[in-house]
Structure 1
Amino acid sequence: MADLLLSALIPAVVNKAADSPFQRIGEMWGINNQRERLHNMLQEIQAVLPDAEEKANSNAAVKSWLEKLQSAAYEADGLVDDFCYEELRRDAMRRGHKVGNVSDFFSLENPALLRYRLSGKLKKVLGRVDGLIVQMERFGFVQRQRVHVVNRIRTDSLVVESKVVGRDEDKEKVVQLLLEGRENNDLIVVPAEGACGQSNQN
């Protein structure tokens, strides 16, 4: 069961770490290098994950490594979602929505504290994943999965409007749903297909 979760979780976090909301706020806060590092390290792990999962059946040390990896991957996934939420909140404010505090963590009164906390958490996650990479290299796993490098997203703020199609209405609905839940003190869970940001449409 854990193997199945990892096989789905690691690629999902890899995609989120390369997605535009995380990139935009990473550039704004000067942490884009750390974002790229997280993305690249998780890609390395993704490439050897099938071999690691197979060896875990007969190697207790590898099994323990996978358990640590699962814990770190969940932490990374939650952190990337936090960054994406903050970008969503900022985007809502740019478009004129009145957004209040969702929790003490996401504090509009003290954005410097929010930046400090998220950046600190990112540094902690990077440390955990880096340690797993060191152990991974000692195990000598074989790369059995070809990892497709995600195309680098533009690093400037230019958006080609003609290529952004059919998402405005959906985005407005999601933002409104989140804001209404905040006003009613309700916990809102919004299922999303794919990564945390925009979908690529050809």
Structure 2
Amino acid sequence: MADAFVSAVLQQLTAVVYRDIEKEVTLVVDVRKEAQKLKTILQTLQAVLMDAEKRQVNEAAVKLWLEKLKATSYDMDDLIDDWNTFVLKFQVSNNKVCLCMPSPCFFFRKIVLHHDFAVNIRDLNKRFQAIAIEKDMFSFELNRDSGESERPVTTSFLDVSEIYGRDQEKNAIIRTLLFENSQQQGLPIISVVGMGGIGKTTLAQLAYNDQEVKAFFEKKIWVCVSDPFDEIRVAKAILAALTGKAPSVAELESLLQKIHLSIERKMFLLILDDVWTEDPMKWESLKHSLKCGTPGSKVLITTRKENVAKIMGSTMLFPLGQLYEEECWSLFSQVALFGRPSGDRKGLEEIGKKIAKKCKGLLLAAKVLGGLLRFKKSKEQWQSVLNSELWELEEVEKGLFPSLLLSYYDLPSTLR
């Protein structure tokens, strides 16, 4: 993505501008000013790339603008590579022991390179300036901090009759929750790991609401953690679930003491849904306060990252893959064909199965697309959805993209 290119170029450009090397290869003053000016322009462009990358899927003009930015960034990257190669050759040459005076040819090449670099960087500066002016035509939103990203809030409630597939995984998780091992040391932590929209929260909800699980645990707590991991907010949510009332204290120590007393010698199940933090210190104090429950108590977390599961000390990992094609169709058809007469269903099922394949096994995608088609009555409308690019549909963008974009923007820019 464009952000990756711009980030890489900015990093290299900064190194060129501020490199502390011998005077013979230091940039002349006017070129240094051009490079600094270019760095400022790139930072301005980088500030709107998050919105631009979202909008390019629906707006052809934005896509063309991003392609122009990437092409110019490539040219800038090539220019910096040429400069770095020259610097390396000069340093190697300068370190050689030589009894004679340095060759005038080398100094001539140095002057030529300075001139070429100056000409090229000015040309690139003009191109980037033109791109920066064009960006104002699109009224892009400035990038927001990751902590401000909108994240869905989950609860333990669901309609079991609307859930299809994942029976094998659900039964395996429930068996693990109900398993008692008097020899096991510490608090068992079970992690459900998978990409956004794959069904982690749904599995946790199914386990939480299972009748055997309800009978097995004396206390059950559900907390939507999300990002950032706010220890005090999470502790308050746990305590409120245990006592049935909002905590009157705000200090973490007092909250953890009350949690400790509330679960002491009790069998409990704590669900921590949508955990993102990779800072073990955020979880450590809370984890220690939970170790006083009756043996058999469990913590179940859902996360998109296996590294999070490891950091939280998981004793059991359940990696989730995509739904089978039949499972995806069952879920999709249950939503999309709800309430339709059997005669209407027959004409839509063939198209619907092709649309369900586009979900690529994502539970959330099947739900969103099913909900979209539920209110489209004619075969022509269904065919139109099948023929379109899914990300061009406003309903799909609103229902599916926010969840998947959280995973996307959590990636390093070089991987996007």
TM-score range, shorter chain: 0.5 to 0.7
CA distance in 1, matches of 2:96, 2:121: 29
Pick from 12, 18, 23 the counterpart of residue 16 of structure 1: 12
Superposed CA RMSD in Å reads 2.4
After the TM superposition, which residues 12-161 of structure 1 pair with which residues of structure 2 at under 5 Å, given as runs? 12-20=8-16, 23-24=19-20, 27-30=26-29, 31-96=31-96, 108=106, 109-145=108-144
Aligned residue identity for 1:8: A
What is aligned with 1:7? 3
How far has the Cα of 1:7 moved from its partner?
2.6
CA contact (8 A) 1:50 1:144 kept: yes
- Superposition misfits of 4+ residues, deviation over 4 angstroms: 20-27
- CA deviation map 1:18-76 (0-9, x unaligned): 11576457853221111111111111111111101111111111111011011100001
Secondary structure, aligned partner of 1:140: coil
CA distance in 2, matches of 1:52, 1:94: 46
Unaligned runs of at least 5 residues, structure 2: 99-104, 146-416
Question: Cα–Cα, structure 1 residues 66 and 120, in superposed 2: closer, same or farther, change >3 Å?
Answer: same
Sequence identity of aligned pairs in percent? 25
Quick check: which has more Rg, 1 or 2? 2
> TM-score scaled to structure 2, two decimals?
0.30
Question: Cα–Cα, structure 1 residues 59 and 51, in superposed 2: closer, same or farther, change >3 Å?
Answer: same
CA contact (8 A) 1:21 1:83 kept: no
Aligned residue identity for 2:115: Y
Aligned residue identity for 1:19: A
CA distance in 2, matches of 1:97, 1:34: 35
Unaligned runs of at least 5 residues, structure 1: 99-106, 147-202
How many residues align? The count is: 134
CA contact (8 A) 1:48 1:145 kept: no
What is aligned with 2:357? none
Aligned residue identity for 2:62: V
Q: Give the structure with the larger strand fraction.
A: 2
Question: Cα–Cα, structure 1 residues 97 and 118, in superposed 2: closer, same or farther, change >3 Å?
Answer: farther
CA distance in 1, matches of 2:120, 2:16: 20
CA distance in 1, matches of 2:46, 2:16: 21
How far has the Cα of 1:112 moved from its partner?
2.3
CA contact (8 A) 2:17 2:35 kept: no
Higher relative CO (Cα under 8 Å, sequence separation at least 6) belongs to 1
CA distance in 1, matches of 2:27, 2:69: 29
Aligned residue identity for 1:114: L
CA distance in 2, matches of 1:97, 1:127: 42
- Report the more deviating stretch, 67-76 or 78-87: 78-87
Aligned residue identity for 2:37: R
CA contact (8 A) 1:47 1:144 kept: yes
Secondary structure, aligned partner of 2:126: helix
CA distance in 2, matches of 1:145, 1:122: 30
CA distance in 2, matches of 1:42, 1:144: 14
